[in-house]
Amino acid sequence: MMRQYELVERVQRYKSDVNEALLNKAYVYAMQKHGHQKRASGDPYFSHPLEVAAILTDMHMDEATIATALLHDTIEDTTATRAEIDELFGPEMGKLVEGLTKLKKLDLVSKKAEQAENLRKLLLAISEDVRVLLVKLADRLHNMRTLDHMPEAKRLRIAEETMDIYAPLAGRMGMQGMREELEDIAFRYVNPEAYRTVTERLAEIFQRNKGVLAEIEKSLSALFEKYTIHATVTSRQKKAWSVFRKMEAKALSFEQLSDIFGFRVVVDTVEDCYRALGAIHTTWSMVPGRFKDYISTPKQNDYRSIHTTIVGPSRQRVELQIRTHEMNKIAEYGVAAHSVYKDFGSKEGNGKTNGVAPTISKDTNAYAWLRRTIEQLSEGDNPEDFLENTKLELFQDQVFCFTPKGMLIALPRGATPIDFAYAVHTDVGDSCVGAKVNGRIMPLMTELKNGDEVEIIRSKAQVPPAAWESVVVTGKARSAIRRATKNAIRKQYSGLGTRILERAFERGGKRFSKESLKPVLHRLARKDIEDVLTAVGRGEIASSDVLKAVFPDYKDERVTVAPKQQREEGWSRIRNAAGMLFQIPGRSRRDKTKRPEDSAVPIRGVRGDLPVRFAPEGAVPGDRIVGIMQPGSGITVYPIQSPSLTAFDDQPERWIDVRWDIDENNKERFPARVSVTAINAPGSLADIAQVVASNDANIHTLSMIRTAPDFTEMLLDLEVWDLKHLNRLLSQLKENSSVSDAKRVNG
């Protein structure tokens, strides 16, 4: 186990003015707190934070970050408290250590939800101080290096979590070296057979190609010397996980892979990068479509380099990366390479030692991406959604697109114009109805490519369809669509609740206003007026309960009539007064008096602005209808003659007054179910379909109920304009020679 002086010496190698007092104090405190605790391997527990600190010294981190590594498990696993850390090391250090502490005593229903809440807490801490991320990744790396000592089930869970979250998080923050090692170790446990096979094959290929690699390296070095370019050329081999992922994604064999080996060219200046590229391309042929300039257009994690593939000296494909020394440092260490040291003071009078702590430049693309992502993902999603959307944001192999004004938008591969619209702004995504890609109108499902110019066509009347959620690939778009869908549904239920309350208050001789609900919110156990209206629309609160809450002295003195009797009286009125609109008086009381049409909730159709659906047998304009409140689902509309209504005879509070409200300028078809008995002969079904089509109706579904030697009974769910349209269709079906009988189900 590393001694105190050895840790100090490691830091002194790259930072001569090391704050020894801070490191020694953190070392002693952590060792005392962890005491005789043991790891699964049997080693003293303190060896773990010490190894985490050592990993950070390899990244040349400052002593404050290394001290945080020594302390990172004290609050979570020992008797140490945040207040004690603040007292001994200052609030700055206390905040860092707390950011690395998992949430305790989580009352959550699933392990996934617990994982999500801990991740949310970690990301929020990282967004305030990225040193939390550096310590967390070093912590995870050491845990992965010692994973063999854990039980098998736990090994697999930790490896999968590393592959899903921590490795891509390291990549998104530009820490490619850290990412590759995390992926390599996780791959070994997630898919041991594939790991073994790929690793063995890579070793064989490397042995076979050592001579070729040396020859190419020598040729490139000679070329740069000829052009007086000071460059370092090194060969590299792709990692096992990277090779396996590409083989799996593109269904390739080892023999088909052309980029297992690559060469890195490191030069002094940006100008030298382009001089080296020119020398290479004028000497060897470039492979079309394999050139990317990440210097002029850096990745979101600040990665900068030129990528090109050539047909090299041995007439085989050679992949090259050209970058400066500074770019190479950033490619390896990411945000850690942007450390800016800031003096927080030396020893204070009370003995606290704050030392020197780095901040990460807030101007870096990687850090800006992190803050934006957390802002987007912290907008009220449930834990499982947050975890899913975070993973979507982390796995991004990018394409770069442009707005018509030249603004660059970085998106993951597979992104659509919908993702593009939400990347510009949430309002743009919510109002998106179409898109032009490179000047041509294209489907919203089009997969965008590098360099595409995308123009979004908008409409204020647009509400994003829920189906978009399964199409988009960015977490921001998915979260925004889910929120917009929820808000649209809430708005529907709120509108329905408003109409129900207006009519309930009117029947009670009272005047309804939303403001009248404010004083009684506590009695209805709702936090705001919209919640009350939505709850009434969903059937969670009875309108009579709201009426009594607003007017405690109100008494309903109307005569109660049972629903069955009411329907019988209704039919009597229909027979005696042709064309009169029948309505069921609403909610818990009913009377025999005739009601004005305006006291019923208007029903326009399933595509209207209310959460309405129709009974299985359907209902069409011209039918006398009744609404049944379905808690959580809105209103189900039944024709008054439906036998299904008997099931609700003992639930009078669920009956709602409804009436048709047909928009003559925007007509729509309505559902109706019919039973057809047809002759069992070839062509009968075609005859029936022809009658339906010639009458401007539509068959939604069709099923065979019973088939006999001579006849077949069919059940057709049709879509028709109104009752007259349906009756005309039934008459023509009966007249058809292939049809024995046709009738409306429950008609």
The catalytic site residues sit at 76-77
**What residues pair up with 709 in beta bridges, in sequence order?**
none
The three-class DSSP label of residue 719 is: strand
Q: Are 621 and 662 in contact (CB under 8 A)?
A: yes
Helix (H) or strand (E) holding 571: helix 563-576
| Residue 583: φ, ψ to 5° | -135, 145
What is the Cα Rg of the chain in Å? 35
Rounded CA-CA distance 461/484 in Å is 13
Query: Which residue, among 269, 286, 282, 254, has the nearest Cα to 322 in the 3D structure?
Result: 269
How are beta strands 454-458 and 440-442 bridged, if at all? unpaired
| Residue 702: φ, ψ to 5° | -145, 135
Q: Which two tokens stand for residue 363?
A: 């101007």
The three-class DSSP label of residue 341 is: strand
Angle formed by the axes of helices 47-58 and 4-12, nearest 10°: 10
Rounded CA-CA distance 717/714 in Å is 10
Q: Which two tokens stand for residue 476?
A: 């921001």
CB burial of residue 351 (10 Å; 0-12, 13-18, 19+): exposed
Rounded CA-CA distance 523/537 in Å is 18
Compute CA distances 322 → 120, 266, 333, 449, whole Å.
37, 6, 17, 24
**What residues pair up with 670 in beta bridges, in sequence order?**
720
The alpha carbon torsion through 557, 558, 564, 569 (nearest 10 deg) reads 160
Strands of 396-442 (E only): list them.
398-402, 408-412, 432-437, 440-442
Q: Are 497 and 534 in contact (CB under 8 A)?
A: yes
C-beta neighbour count of 672 within 10 angstroms: 29
CB burial of residue 678 (10 Å; 0-12, 13-18, 19+): buried
| Residue 329: φ, ψ to 5° | -65, -45
Rounded CA-CA distance 292/290 in Å is 7
User: Which residue is listed with tokens 């009377």?
Assistant: 591
